[in-house]
Amino acid sequence: MRLPDHFELVDEPPALAGYLRLRKDAGLSQKTPEQAAGALSGSWFFCHVREKSSGRAVAMGRVIGDGGWYFHIADMATLPQFQGRGLGRAVIDALVARIRERAPENPYITLVADPPGWPLYEKAGFSTITPSRGMELPWVRN
């Protein structure tokens, strides 16, 4: 998907402060700078969309995985004022394209989607995994 002229897709993570701001302003859970640093350095692939004029990150996404067969898309976020312009679609397409280019044959590509993101992911070819369901283990300090 082609981006509007005043945006560019960058095949790297945003700066630490931009990552934290984008997560917060897009309504994702807050992370510490230490957690964010691990996300930025430990991803298999990361890309973001930035405004050409300001360099500000306005959309992002990343892939975590083993590089062999399992690839999980995470941190998909677009600032609310930039939604509906194809930026999220450009990010998801770039992530999937990188997996298809570099992964061995038949990769398993997953993501966990909240209801507002369902239409975007379905248009990109994702489907619900049934009867599986996403689960988490809450952190409890002993």
Lowest mean pLDDT among 15-24, 100-109, 128-137: 128-137
Structural domains of the chain ordered from first start: 7-123 (3.40.630.30)
Task: Convert the pLDDT of each residue in 8-48 to its tens digit.
Answer: 999 999 999 999 999 999 999 999 999 999 999 999 999 99
State pLDDT tens for residues 67-103. Answer: 999 999 999 999 999 999 999 999 999 999 999 999 9
Distance of CA 33 to the CA centre of its chain: 18
Query: CB atoms < 10 A from the CB of 20, how many?
Result: 19
pLDDT at residue 25, as a whole number: 97
